[in-house]
Amino acid sequence: MQLNAVLLSLFAAAASAAPAGDERKFGIMALRSASPIHFAPAKATQGKLVFNLPDSKMDAQCTDGSKGEKGAIFTLKDGELYLYGKDQVQQIYVNRSGMGQGVLGYFNKDTSNPPRNSELKGWAVDATENLTFDGTGLLACPGGDDAFYIWASGVDKPAGIEGCLPFSARTVTQNDAAECTYSTRE
């Protein structure tokens, strides 16, 4: 009886201390038919998540020598979303405050704090493998050079940007993905 309790608590401790490497790793693919982002993979650079940015602008440092051209890799833990990496813990934040209007990005968790008013928790993958934040899909807004930056939903024209597209963020498992450190503006 007592031994069982000890074993159970050891098991629980081992489960909660499981290294990040055991978690599902996935890319994000935009689903929005008849739009320029349909099937585009989400990429990460300069602290932002973006679709359709040319490969030449990608600057991640990945263990396989690539620069994140094929798309960023993510992991989900306790409702929080991370980039899959090794040297840095890089986490996604959302700023739905009046000024933030749904601005979304990532920061280096070990060396900096999330931007003021940001939310970290609220991410989930639903039964159809769509990634949601606070139960809703995401928004892609034009940012020049045919690129579309990812925002959280809530405001149709965040920061006054015209032409934003709501999209479904389909997660695609990539368990053999390389680890990358993505660039930030810090």
Residue placing its CB nearer to ligand NAG in the complex, 103 or 147: 103
Encoded tokens for 134? 């606070």
Task: Sketch the per residue contact string, 95 through 124, with ligand NAG: x for CB under 6 A, - otherwise.
Answer: x-xxxx--x-----------xxx-------
Q: Which of residues 68-97 bind ligand NAG (CB under 6 A)?
A: 95, 97
DSSP for 95-155, written as a single string: E-STTTTTEEEEEETTT-PPPTT-B-B-EEE-TTSEEEETTB-EEEEE-STT-EEEEESS-
| By the rule CB under 6 A, 45 interacts with ligand NAG | no
**What's the min distance (Å) between Cβ of 132 and ligand NAG?**
8
- Minimum CB separation from ligand NAG for residue 185, in Å? 10
CA 143 to chain CA centroid, nearest Å? 18
Q: What string of DSSP letters covers 7-52?
A: HHHHHHHHHHT--GGGS--EEEEEE-TTSTTTTPBPEEETTEEEES
Instruction: Provide the 10 A C-beta neighbour count for residue 5.
Output: 9
Of the candidate residues 35, 168, 174, 183, the single one contacting ligand NAG (CB under 6 A):
168
Nearer Cβ to ligand NAG (35/66) = 35
With CB under 6 A as the rule, give the number of residues binding ligand NAG: 14
In the complex, the residues that contact ligand NAG under the rule CB under 6 A are: 31, 95, 97-100, 103, 115-117, 126, 128, 130, 168
